Amino acid sequence: MHIPKVSVVIPVYKVEQYLRRCVDSVLAQTLSDLEIILVDDGSPDHCPEICDEYASKHENIRVIHKPNGGLASARNAGMKVATGQYLFFLDSDDWLDADGLEQLYLCAEKYQVDFVRYRAIRSGWPGMEPHAACMVEPVRELHEGYYNRDTILKEVYPRLMATPQLTMGAVVGACGSLYRMDFLRQNDLIFYEEVKFSEDLVFSARVVRAARSFYFIDTPGVYHYFYNPNSISKSFRSGRWESCKGLIHACERDFGRDTEYDFSGQLHCLRWFC
């Protein structure tokens, strides 16, 4: 069976004004041999028709139509059918630089890491310069380069999920990495579907804990993180408190009795700011 270099999973829900820009940016990639998986998560607008239109014109695009289940559910559905050597998540209101996936793929192949992380670009954010680098709080910042298991334990574990400054951890955001597919599957790394908001916090923490190595590219590029005022992270959603409790419960279940590191302090901080 043919194995594409990268499977790109794009969850789709109520983004008809942005979807073509997103998919076109993947079709324009300089890296050839991509698989594009559009997951229509029960979108009530014209997104399902747009997805089917693209699939009818491009052999490397496949569409999953499913009842609405949230972002975690949509990503899991895409992961389940993905066949690529590597996996990349792209939100449907964002887009990629033309050479974005090629940069990540070549880095992953060169260093033979479990995932490659990078610094994205903010586009269209109020009060920010166009194409501003995605910076985070200083306590969360990573230095560019190769992280082996020892470095992960020393530099990332102390801020894996949360920091004493009440911020999220150093490696958060499913769209911020290119993942080796067999690494994800061997470690059963999927999203907890009961967590509807910040679902990638616990996913990212589990990824780092399982990883033997990763590489961080600090030069801004690859991914344009668009300011969409209607996105999950920038608008009110009912049920957010219940989901936050679900997130805390998931983190406590997975990390509360870890035998390699004491995460009790981070779990305490997580309860404060979630």
Tell me the pLDDT tens digit for each residue of 147-166.
Answer: 999 999 999 999 999 999 99
DSSP H or E segment with residue 116 = strand 115-118
| pLDDT score, position 244 | 83
Burial class of 16 by CB neighbour count within 10 A (0 to 12, 13 to 18, 19+) = middle
Judge whether 189 and 178 are in contact, CB under 8 Å. Answer: no
Least confident of 85-89, 134-138, 217-221: 134-138
Strand order of the β-sheet with 95-96 is: 95-96, 223-226, 121-123, 132-133
| pLDDT score, position 124 | 82
| pLDDT score, position 274 | 63
Q: Which amino acid, 108?
A: A
pLDDT tens digit sequence for 25-76 = 999 999 999 999 999 999 999 999 999 999 999 999 999 999 999 999 999 9
Look at residue 259 and tell me whether its pLDDT is greater than 60: yes
* pTM tops 0.85: yes
Look at residue 236 and tell me whether its pLDDT is greater than 50: no
Band of pLDDT at residue 237, cut at 50, 70 and 90: low
C-alpha triplet 75, 10, 161: angle, nearest 5° = 50
Pairing assessment for the beta strands 115-118 and 214-217 based on DSSP bridges:
parallel
Mean pLDDT throughout 124-144?
A: 90
Mean pLDDT throughout 229-245?
A: 62
Of the candidates 204, 200, 251, which has an alpha carbon nearest to the alpha carbon of residue 268?
Answer: 251
Band of pLDDT at residue 235, cut at 50, 70 and 90: very low
Question: Around 127, how many Cα atoms within 13 Å sit in the side-chain half-sphere?
Answer: 0
pLDDT tens digit sequence for 63-79 = 999 999 999 999 999 99
Look at residue 83 and tell me whether its pLDDT is greater than 90: yes
| pLDDT score, position 246 | 86
Q: CA distances (Å), 256 to each of 119, 166, 167, 208, 261, in order?
A: 30, 18, 19, 16, 10
Q: Measured in Å, how far apart are the chain's first and last C-alpha atoms?
A: 44
| pLDDT score, position 231 | 58
Look at residue 232 and tell me whether its pLDDT is greater than 70: no
DSSP H or E segment with residue 133 = strand 132-133
Residue 271 tokens, joined: 């309860």
Residue 2 tokens, joined: 């043919």
pLDDT tens digit sequence for 105-114 = 999 999 999 9
Band of pLDDT at residue 195, cut at 50, 70 and 90: confident
